[in-house]
Structure 1
Amino acid sequence: MTDGLDGMHRWDQPRRRRPWPLWAALGVVLVLLTCGLPTVLLAGVLHEAADRPMIGRLGPTAPADPAVEAARQLGERISGQLDRQAAALLGGDRAGFLAVAEPAAHPALARRYAALRALRVTVWRPEQTGLPTTVVGRPDEWRIVVRFQYCFVVPGCRPSPVLVGTRWRDSGGQVRLVAMEESRSAETGTRPWEVSDLVVAVGPRTVVATTPALRGKLPGLLRQAEAAARTADAYAVAGPPPDRYRVFYAGKAEWLSWYGGGRPAWTGGYAVTVGGGHHEVVLNADGLSATGADDLLRHELTHAASLPERGYPGRETWWLVEGLAEYAGVGGTPVGRYEGLAEVRELLAPGGGWTGRLDDLTPAEDASARRVGGSYGVGYLAVRHLVDRFGEQRVLAFFKAVVHDRRTAEEASGEAFGEPWAGLHDACVAYARAAVG
């Protein structure tokens, strides 16, 4: 489960030139922790067992369970095949990558190989999470879940993990890969490189990927992503910025499958954490204009730079998380030209449905597009007021204390601003009201 909400964005009304952010979960998914769970649990069991008295336990000379020993030996042989496949992937040996698998598995594996090579994979480390188990109804097949640790472009990055089910057949003393399944993490879903052909462009700060059908968009997207990265880098509040921002530009079909799909129709983009300190950004190509991509990339890459890997504290900090990203996204546009002012005005009007508390600004799942646009706008205006009054660095110190260190707004305000939060909160809301007249 996550503590946070995901950064999705709705499309503009027809008069708008860019997509407005809307509700969804910021994808602050604890994939690294989730993927590490089997190991953590196993370690805990072993420690617990070691601390218990040896009551009724068989001595060290007791024979091993034959089935367990057979699975262990099979697991070692599978491990050897996975290591050979990893070496082939990193070495650019397509034939070697496919050689560990049965011919029927080659088409899907070849696509995965090509996508990973296009993304300039620099680390691919397979780690088994347990022993192989037989596949129900297929006594000659075995299944084992493998944690793959991977890096793109940068050899020394903190790897991102992904759990993948693999199936194997042991025939005539030779173990061969039957299938490499798609990861179906409830938190993150299927990665683009698992299911799609990809074309990729790499810049000094970003990796941008899309499908062959959208290849023509790639040069422009890379330029826009690189510009957005320069903005987002300034919002890395708890360490260096990401080694590379990862951006995926989804066509209509890919939008429905990458990372589980299922986003509302108004969603223009989102960011999801994949572990290892990395967030991956997805843009919806269906209707996104060139000018809209600039703002959306600044917004989402700021999430990738500013957010903690483990997620942020929850709904009460939504205004700050989205307000900061929206502040970066508008790119210095004067407050009077902010395109969400009409939605803010509706939200602040009598009967607009908001309590007036920033920690209660998070829109409901079934909120209308205008209600959500108003929520993002108020978050932006609150952050804008704090920046105008105290400067970006003190606002970022406040953000770090609240979002990363999980301090209360009251504690963080005293340290960052030297003023009680209650008064500043009311000043932020008053600023939003003044902005819309």
Structure 2
Amino acid sequence: MPRVAPEARPPDDAPTALVPRVVDPGQGAVGVLPGSAPPAPRRRWALWTALAAVVALLACGLPAALLAGAVGDAGAEAPGGRPRAVSDDPATAAARKLGERMAAQLDRQSSALLRGDRAGWLAVAEPAAHADLRRRFAALRALRVTGWAAEPTGLPTPVDGRPGEWRLLVEFRYCFVVRDCRTSPVLTATRWRDGPAPRLTAVEPSRSAETGTRPWEVSDLVVAVGKRTVVATTPAQRRKLPTLLAQAEAAARTADAWAVGGRVPDRYRVFYAGRSEWQRWYGGGRPKWTGGYAVTVGGGHHEVVLNAEGLTSSGLDDLLRHELTHAASLPERGYPGESTWWLVEGLAEYAGADGRSIGRYPGLADARRLLAGGWDGRLDTLTPAANAPAARVSGSYGISYLAVRHLTDRYGPARLLAFFGAVVHDRRTLDEAAEAAFGEPWSRLHDDCVTYARSVVG
């Protein structure tokens, strides 16, 4: 396992193990759309139109009765469930036309990015926004962006106290390296100055509850691309990039074997974070014991983030195998919840160990302590708290690893993966999945796993 980063070192009597962690982003992932060029814009005006209309009408000082009518009519349906046609009031009609002009500018900018035209990318924006846009352009091109589309999610709304300035929510969809990739979405607020050709004045970093800010939104990046991975870090870590890529490529070969249904990722996306980036990328705020995590970003993709602080080369190998196995094995919408944490993490730990003997697994001492006391003996309660001591975390991972190892040794990797797929992807109960994959009741197998763990640690 990776070593603990200096600022997250456990008590002196605890082992120096920093355990990888997967983030389950709310079991509500998002995704969709293929393409090497931006897909035809799909403008979703419905409910957002109604909300924007309210803002516009308020700004015009129109009566509350009219506001209620506008929202009510916008949500109405004609017979057969079709949306009822609504005539725009002047303020909404003006906002709609402005939004269409903004969308046209965004389409031009998207095309410029994909053809590598930085001047065209900047041409839609005010000079004050150019520094940020230049950095985004460079990062996205370094990541070999192959798909990019900007889709407004509603009408523009006026910025209070700033006449002629507007705010527009935009869903950007992106692909890296692979040309037929399903795009990953990120929702961002943009700011504009009105005019015949509206001018972009700012793009705010996304702050979605599920995933937070992407690295390419806020950081300069250097990137290396291999056959199975794309690895990015900051210029300060540039010298590590060749080694990172080689280690990631090796880890990908292990992770590919654990793709449920053989659906391996088109590319594993890996971001290596320094101290400040660890606090910013994807929202930061991870438990102190976290060495890395995989977060679902939609379109069937998971992006892996590694904490550069305190990682050794050997620890990085284990961590990469662990996190890339998450990216290969987890469903797009996240896993079912804490009751299956042991299975998700146990599989990743098993892959991370890469066939080493049990005696070389570094978490055995912590597993022994947890088995001796402080745990109720149920695999579904192994999930450590965010503020748990490092030894408790390591023990939870260790017992999970031993449980998955026992099932794999007894039934083979194929049946273990079938069990994992039934539970984590198909959301079947452990009882149903165990009978289908192993032909045994889960209650008996559960107790066998715990007994096995106790026999290993002594």
Q: TM-score, normalised by structure 2?
A: 0.86
Partner of 2:164: 140
3-state DSSP class of the match of 1:32? coil
Measured against aligned partners, the alpha-carbon deviations of 1:162-204 in whole angstroms (never above 9, x if no partner) come to: 0011111014x23100101110112211000000000000000
Measured against aligned partners, the alpha-carbon deviations of 1:392-433 in whole angstroms (never above 9, x if no partner) come to: 000000000011111111111111001111111111001100
Measured against aligned partners, the alpha-carbon deviations of 1:322-352 in whole angstroms (never above 9, x if no partner) come to: 0000000011110111110000000011xx2
Contact 1:28 1:309 in 2 (8 A): no
Partner of 2:59: none
Partner of 1:280: 303
- Rounded to whole Å, the distance in 1 between the matches of 2:443 and 2:160 is 60
3-state DSSP class of the match of 1:243? coil
Measured against aligned partners, the alpha-carbon deviations of 1:78-113 in whole angstroms (never above 9, x if no partner) come to: 111001100100000001100100000000000000
Measured against aligned partners, the alpha-carbon deviations of 1:44-95 in whole angstroms (never above 9, x if no partner) come to: x9896234899xx9xx7x8530011101111111111001100100000001
Contact 1:22 1:373 in 2 (8 A): no
Partner of 2:178: 154
Matched, 1:84 2:108: yes
Change (3 A) 1:305 1:39: farther
- Rounded to whole Å, the distance in 1 between the matches of 2:319 and 2:227 is 20
Change (3 A) 1:71 1:387: same
Change (3 A) 1:287 1:356: same
- Rounded to whole Å, the distance in 1 between the matches of 2:419 and 2:271 is 31
Structural mapping, 1:25-424, within 5 Å: 25-27=23-25, 30-32=28-30, 49-51=77-79, 64-171=88-195, 173-349=196-372, 352-424=373-445
Change (3 A) 1:386 1:127: same
Contact 2:47 2:75 in 1 (8 A): no
| C-alpha deviation, 1:363, in angstroms | 1.6
| C-alpha deviation, 1:364, in angstroms | 2.2
Partner of 2:60: none
Partner of 1:3: none
Change (3 A) 1:101 1:48: same
Between stretches 284-293 and 374-383, larger displacement belongs to 284-293
Partner of 1:4: none
Contact 1:28 1:273 in 2 (8 A): no
| C-alpha deviation, 1:15, in angstroms | 11
What letter corresponds to residue 251 of structure 1 in structure 2?
A: G
- Rounded to whole Å, the distance in 2 between the matches of 1:23 and 1:246 is 16
Change (3 A) 1:360 1:266: closer
If each structure's strand is expressed as a fraction of its own residues, which one has the higher value? 1
Measured against aligned partners, the alpha-carbon deviations of 1:276-313 in whole angstroms (never above 9, x if no partner) come to: 01110011111111111100000000000000111111
- Rounded to whole Å, the distance in 2 between the matches of 1:147 and 1:116 is 16
Contact 2:181 2:266 in 1 (8 A): yes
3-state DSSP class of the match of 2:194? strand
Contact 2:22 2:326 in 1 (8 A): no
Change (3 A) 1:129 1:239: farther
3-state DSSP class of the match of 2:125? coil
Gaps of 5+ in 2: 34-41, 50-72
Change (3 A) 1:46 1:387: farther
Gaps of 5+ in 1: 1-7
Between stretches 221-230 and 352-361, larger displacement belongs to 352-361
Counting matched residue pairs gives 420
Change (3 A) 1:147 1:242: same
Change (3 A) 1:360 1:415: same
Partner of 2:54: none
- Percent identical among aligned pairs is 67
3-state DSSP class of the match of 1:69? helix
- Rounded to whole Å, the distance in 1 between the matches of 2:131 and 2:81 is 53
Change (3 A) 1:146 1:239: farther
Between stretches 311-320 and 294-303, larger displacement belongs to 311-320
Measured against aligned partners, the alpha-carbon deviations of 1:21-51 in whole angstroms (never above 9, x if no partner) come to: 2666344663416999x779679x9896234
Q: TM-score, normalised by structure 1?
A: 0.90
- Rounded to whole Å, the distance in 2 between the matches of 1:301 and 1:321 is 12
| C-alpha deviation, 1:261, in angstroms | 1.0
Contact 2:4 2:16 in 1 (8 A): no
Change (3 A) 1:195 1:257: same
